[in-house]
Amino acid sequence: AQSVTQPDIHITVSEGASLELRCNYSYGATPYLFWYVQSPGQGLQLLLKYFSGDTLVQGIKGFEAEFKRSQSSFNLRKPSVHWSDAAEYFCAVGGDTGGFKTIFGAGTRLFVKA
């Protein structure tokens, strides 16, 4: 069965420090992988996506993620966090298996301290 695990419910980093948010997935075929960000009171916005090809993908707002098939992971990174990055981040997995059920992780809330 498809599943997405985000092991960290919340993370606190200092402004200017690097960030890595973890995501592990379970999927029976080649996955489509996504990272979304949700600011308070807002809907979700796509940060980046992986369908195929280069396993290091670049997204908006300076984020990147690396797909590691052997580890079933798709971790999100940013070299230097800004206070405006404080939000909730969701990893999601889907795929072209005939279904429509993109599965979302439970989310990781990022706090940024000055």
Partner 1 sequence: NAGVTQTPKFQVLKTGQSMTLQCAQDMNHNSMYWYRQDPGMGLRLIYYSASEGTTDKGEVPNGYNVSRLNKREFSLRLESAAPSQTSVYFCASSAVRQVEAFFGQGTRLTVV
**Interface with partner 1 by CB under 8 A: which residues?**
4, 9, 32, 34, 36, 41-46, 49, 90, 94-96, 99-102, 104-107
The CB-of-112 to partner 1 minimum distance in angstroms stands at: 21
Q: Of 28 and 43, which has the nearer Cβ to partner 1?
A: 43
Contact 88/42 with Cβ under 8 angstroms? no
What is the amino acid identity at position 17? A
Q: Give, as one character, the DSSP assignment of residue 102.
A: P
Residue 88, C-beta contacts closer than 8 angstroms, at least 6 positions apart = 37, 38, 107, 108, 109, 110
Q: Of 17 and 96, which has the nearer Cβ to partner 1?
A: 96
In this structure, the chain runs to a length of 114
Q: Of 17 and 106, which has the nearer Cβ to partner 1?
A: 106
What is the amino acid identity at position 15? E
The CB-of-56 to partner 1 minimum distance in angstroms stands at: 19
The CB-of-28 to partner 1 minimum distance in angstroms stands at: 14
